[in-house]
Structure 1
Amino acid sequence: MPELRAVAYARVSSKEQAEKELSIPAQLKAIRKYCQDKGWKLVGEYLDEGKSAKTADRPAFQKMIAIAKKQNRHFDIIVVHKFDRFSRSREDHVIFKGLLKKHGVLVHSVSEQTDPETPHGFLLEGMLEVISEFYNMNLRNETMKGMTENARRGFHNGGAAPYGYKSKHIVDANGNLKTIWEPDPGEATVVEDIFDMYVNRNMGYKAITYELNKQSIPTRSGNHWSYSTIWYVLHNDAYIGHRTWNKHDYANGGKKKKPKEQWIIVANAHKPLVSRDLYNAVLSKSSAKQNPSVHNNLKKKTKSPFILRGLLLCPDCGTKMVTGSNSIRSRGYTRYYYCGKYQRKGSITCSRNTTPKDKLENAFMAAFIAELTLLCEQGTLEYEIEHQYKQYNSGLLKEIYEIEGGIKYIEKRIALVKSKEAEDKGKLVPGLSELEIEKETMVAQLNDRRRELQDFTLSSEQIQMIRDGVDDTIKRINIEPPDVQKILLEKYIKSIQLDKATNNYQILIIISHPSATELNRPLIERKCYFTNPHKGRGK
């Protein structure tokens, strides 16, 4: 019976676990002993540090699953310390273990030993998984209760204090260590100035941004101010002494806000930096400047005519260019692209680098269509794919070549030793076993490197599919409306940027694999150039 090959999967979700008996070294030690006792060969280890098992979005875990699905995988068994290291979600357990079993890979636990191939083992393993998920859900609920009570009492639940405040530790009546906010003298003055500039000096977000950057007043992180940061300061009720918690849904990444009735808002939780009247004046002024419902309706109806937005980069700082317009027809243009960093943070951070829209887009489109036409020619796609394969895998191919040479050299030495052994009528020659072990190690290294190679192999049908897609884009790009043109361009363009030294624009064209799951990088990356049509080069 061939020796079974196993890999270890270890995970910790927090610093505290990393320092206790669940540390990754402790898990690996137990897994190694388990494999040794079973007579299995441990051929790899996959480690996720600071990753929760409530989700399958873990880099090492995903890499392990991806390799397990391949026909030439190098393991038959995944070994974990406990099943909750693999997953704490019953749904994920069922999905991933079913997927692994389909490909002939089993999951074993060191501390919860079951035989998943028997009815009894299947039942026991399922019960352990349900208990683990119950523990996780109960822990989450209890933690939420504690944090809710802490917030209702006006204490901080973690994270950085907003600009203008600093965290201070105190001891409550029960002797527990708690965190509150107190004003930071230097930052508090800046916050007061921001509110004063907006309400009393009638300055807008951008004007305040430019003024702070002009005075070389940094943000807490040491960066320049942006108008979005100014907006956040002016609309943050923390500055009137409110503590708001449970505002964002962090279970889904924190980007989505929870319903307002679920927020916990505590008034007078800390010393305010501005008066309530001043804060209300900000809300009144910003509301009068822009009616949200009107703005949203316009946003839905208006389609941007700027087809290069999001693709065009500033030639100086590399930030995405934004768009603007004016009515000064004497300049020869009314719509233009200009630096996004300049727009947000002012001239102290970057030049404006204004570029007229129509001239740039016409010159770009001619170069882009010419390049796609060239890619459609017979043999060009095949050449580019092979070139990209060699370029991307050059380091690995060189290493594979060197390992193969090393194996051939070892094989010659083994043959010489065996011939010497034959001459001595079967007498064992010293060094043969060491050479065979060395060869076995190098063969394992060779297999590992070959597995790491990005496979760019495509069938003739897949190549024709890519060619048909490119040809379709060539036919449609000049006749579609701007919003559709932009979608077509985003499929093939990674970036467009002016090189001021040569006064040429560089277009980085990408061609993706027909099946997005087959390759974790573009199939082709190709550069082409066109001359800057704007003689002024932007100011």
Structure 2
Amino acid sequence: MIGKKKSKAAVRGKVAVVYTRVSTKEQAETNQSLETQLERCRAYAQRHGYEVAGEFGGTYESAKNDERKEFKVMLDFVRKSKLKVGYIIVYSHDRFSRSGSGAIGIVDELSKMGIAVVAVTQPMDTMTASGKLQQGIQFLFSQFDNDQRREKCVAGMEAKVRKGYVVGKAPMGYDQLKVNGEQVIKPNRQGKLIRLAFQLKAEQGLSNTDIIKRLKAQGLTLYNQTLTKIFRNPFYCGLITHGLLEEGEVIVGRHEPLISRDVFLRVNGLQAQNAHGYTQVKEDEALPLRHHIKCGSCQKPLTGYEMKKKGIHYYKCNTKGCCLNRNAGKMHELYQDLLKEFQIDPLLLPQVQEMMGQVFKKRARTMSRRKSV
């Protein structure tokens, strides 16, 4: 709230509050600046003989939702004030809200209390059905405009990513600069130490714990989880992945890689091994449910073994004190019975196939549009 004037109680309809806002600092320099909005709203109140009981907002708040701090302060004031506020004066309806149906709901609630939202640059009689309709359309158009901007923004971000630019913040180890208006991503001192971490893992096979100790001695403190994420990030070998791209799609970045792709692949090959030092056993066709099903007593994953003399396989629990031991053949039968409960009714297959076909066609069209950007 940028100001509040004390006033005696008045009849509802002659007391008003002013709400102003801008979404960005850039708007402060346009004809919708906070000063311009405030002047126009004050003049509107004066022309109509309204007593201004408070002036709210006066700051940068996005209106895509109605959880704005100053907006909520203003609403609380008009709902609880003993001055019986009759009007909320705004420069235009999109200054009040851009949440579409959300804004319509708030205005409807206020209307039941005898409070009207009036826009200086979009005058309309909201006491009539026609006026309410026009106001509602204004709010919906504001939301539509927001949605269009968001779509354009997402499309622009995707286009940048596909050209190899970083959208958002560059990962640890890089400085993000602008040189002659062009994005420049350069390795910094942390980047040199991250390069060392990759080299220690690829060339010497050191554990993450040992690597973290060496980096800390040189001034870079990392946790094991952070180092693991670094090792898995292809950005360090010159490639970019992003949520705007298709799953598994990578783009060659414009930034300087810290390591070669060969080093990156070697490191991730080592990372795939068990962190505790043992290698993972390959799948056993005779025991496909090993580590998938759990013990009913201690909830630990079951392992398995073969009784070689009889050629029979068993699932067992390795928890100390737990004696669970089950014949693999019988377990497989039980599991197959369980899977039958999740089968699709043959009568529904045509509908499922049609729905899946529509989904695949839609995804194909989306991918085609993205590739044409």
Interval of TM-score (by shorter of Structure 1 and Structure 2): 0.5 to 0.7
Does residue 167 in structure 1 map to residue 176 in structure 2?
yes
| Secondary structure of the corresponding residue to residue 250 of structure 2 | strand
Q: Name the residue aligned to 2:348.
A: none
Q: Please state how far the C-alpha of 1:203 moved relative to its aligned partner.
A: 4.3
Q: Is the alpha carbon distance of 1:227 and 1:24 closer, same or farther for their aligned partners in structure 2, counting shifts above 3 Å?
A: farther
Aligned-partner SS, 1:289: coil
Q: Shift of residue 210 of structure 1?
A: 4.3
- The answer for the alignment partner of 1:95 in structure 2 is 105
Distance 2:132 2:141 in 1: 14
- The structure 2 residue matched to 1:17, chosen from 21, 24, 27, is 27
Q: Distance in 2 between matches of 1:73 and 1:226?
A: 57
1:519-534 map, 5 Å? none
Structure 2: runs of 5 or more not aligned:
1-9, 281-289, 300-373
SS of equivalent residue, structure 1 residue 134 = helix
Query: Relative to 1, partners in 2 of residues 1:165 and 1:65: Cα closer, same or farther, differing over 3 Å?
Result: same
Structure 1 pair 76–229 and aligned structure 2 pair: CA distance change class (3 A):
farther
Among residues 225, 239, 247, which one is paired with 2:236 in the alignment? Answer: 239
In structure 2, relative to structure 1, the CA distance for the partners of 1:230 and 1:26 (3 Å cut) is farther
Q: Which residue of 1 aligns with 2:215?
A: 212
TM-score, normalised to structure 2, is: 0.64
Aligned partner (choices 131, 152, 155) of residue 142 of structure 1: 152
1:110 to 117, 120, 133: 120
The CA distance in 2 between the partners of 1:48 and 1:284, in whole Å, is 56
Which one of the candidate residues 62, 65, 89 is aligned to 1:55? 65
Aligned residues between the structures: 274
Q: CA deviation at 1:50?
A: 3.5
Amino acid at match of 1:40: Y
Match of 2:196 in 1: 193
Determine the C-alpha separation between the residues in 2 that align with 1:77 and 1:117: 12
What is the CA–CA distance in structure 2 between the aligned matches of 1:75 and 1:92, rounded to whole Å? 21
1:273 to 258, 261, 264: 258
Runs (5+) with no aligned partner, structure 1: 172-176, 218-223, 248-259, 304-539
Does structure 2 retain, via aligned residues, the 8 Å contact 1:79–1:109? yes
Once residues 228 and 296 of structure 1 are traced to their aligned partners in structure 2, the CA distance between those partners, rounded to angstroms, is 25
Return 202-211 or 226-235, whichever deviates more. Answer: 202-211
Tell me the CA shift for residue 263 of structure 1: 7.8
Distance 1:276 1:234, change over 3 A: same
How far has the Cα of 1:22 moved from its partner? Answer: 2.0
* 8 A contact 1:78–1:107 mirrored in 2: yes
Letter matched to residue 196 of structure 2: D
- Superimposed CA distance per residue, residues 69-119 of structure 1 (whole angstroms, 9 cap, x where no aligned partner): 437476332111111111112121122112222333221111111111112
Q: Root-mean-square deviation (CA), in Å?
A: 3.2
Cα deviation, 1:375-417, whole Å, max 9, x if unaligned, reads xxxxxxxxxxxxxxxxxxxxxxxxxxxxxxxxxxxxxxxxxxx
Q: Determine the C-alpha separation between the residues in 2 that align with 1:9 and 1:31.
A: 8
Q: Helix, strand or coil: the match of 2:241?
A: strand
Question: Structure 1 pair 154/105, CA: closer, same or farther in 2 (3 Å)?
Answer: same
**Whole-angstrom distance in 1 between the partners of 2:298 and 2:117:** 54
Specify the SS of the correspondent of 1:25: helix
Deviation by residue 1:56-78 (Cα, 9 ceiling, x = unmatched)? 22111122223344374763321
